[in-house]
Amino acid sequence: MLFNFFSLAALASIATTVSAQGSFCPEAARFGNVNVSPSTLSPGETFTVTANLTCAIEKGNTPTFLDYYISATATHTVTGPILIARRTYDNTTSPPIDQFTAVLPNWFYFTDATYSLELQNSFARAGPTGESVITTGGILTPINITGF
Ligand SMILES: *[C@@H]1O[C@H](CO)[C@@H](O)[C@H](O)[C@H]1NC(C)=O
Ligand SMILES: *[C@@H]1O[C@H](CO)[C@@H](O)[C@H](O)[C@H]1NC(C)=O
Ligand SMILES: *[C@@H]1O[C@H](CO)[C@@H](O)[C@H](O)[C@H]1NC(C)=O
């Protein structure tokens, strides 16, 4: 038993080392990374969104479409998410960055809600018969919304 335990521990440690060498991208970045500047916004304000798709592509999740939303969480019901931009991704873009400006819409915001900008990456995957199917994964970055 003791021998088995040490063998398994050794194997696990080798596996961890190999996967760490194989990739610099954390699992959390498998659908990409997104940033907003400025990150504190008022309705009507222009902001810049930058998505970095390096890790999404490295993980095999090359975008077909990129949808950007503002989503909210609160202790009560909030309406949304609201769509900020829907973009078709050109997979020859180098470096693999999707950057654009947008204006924060006038909407029903709440002082007690927590806001995020959400990137939804829709990418193609082969299904069980080889047919290409579009599936989606997302990542959030926090923002503040004030002055409404
Ligand atoms: C995009 O992300 C990759 C992986 O984290 C990083 O190496 C690269 O510098 C980033 N590019 C930009 C323009 O931020
Ligand atoms: C990139 O786009 C081309 C042309 O639309 C397509 O044939 C190819 O499969 C795409 N590659 C990936 C990794 O999505
Ligand atoms: C949101 O506002 C708080 C309080 O001013 C600040 O500490 C935080 O860094 C802001 N977050 C973002 C994403 O700008």
Q: Report the nearest-CA residue for atom 7 of ligand 3.
A: 144
How many angstroms separate the alpha carbon of residue 91 from the centre of ligand 2?
6
The reply to whether 32 falls in a domain is: yes
Residue 57 in contact with ligand 3 by CB distance below 6 A: no
Q: Is the dihedral of CA 24, 26, 29, 30 positive or negative?
A: positive
Is 5 part of a structural domain of the chain? Answer: no
In a domain, 19, yes or no: no
Amino acid identity for residue 12 in this structure: A
125 belongs to a structural domain: yes
Burial 61-94 (b: 16+ CB within 10 A, else e): bebeebbbbbbbeeeeebeebeebeeeebeeeee
Does a structural domain hold residue 2?
no
Residues 6+ apart with CB under 8 A from 39: 141, 142, 143, 144
Q: Is residue 9 part of a domain?
A: no
Mind listing the pLDDT tens digit of every residue in the chain (148 residues)?
A: 344 444 444 444 434 444 444 568 999 999 999 999 999 999 999 999 999 999 999 999 999 999 999 999 999 999 889 999 999 999 999 999 999 999 999 999 999 999 999 999 999 999 999 999 999 999 999 999 999 9
Residue 94: give its domain's CATH number.
Answer: 2.60.40.1930
Ligand 1 atom, smallest distance to 29 CA: 5
1 lies in some domain? no
128 domain residue, yes or no: yes
Cα 121 to averaged position of ligand 1 atoms, centre (Å)? 17
**Interval between CA 93 and ligand 1 midpoint (Å):** 14
Tally of domains in the chain: 1
CA distances from 63 to 59, 74, 113, 121 (A): 11, 30, 30, 6
Q: Which domain holds residue 140?
A: 27-145
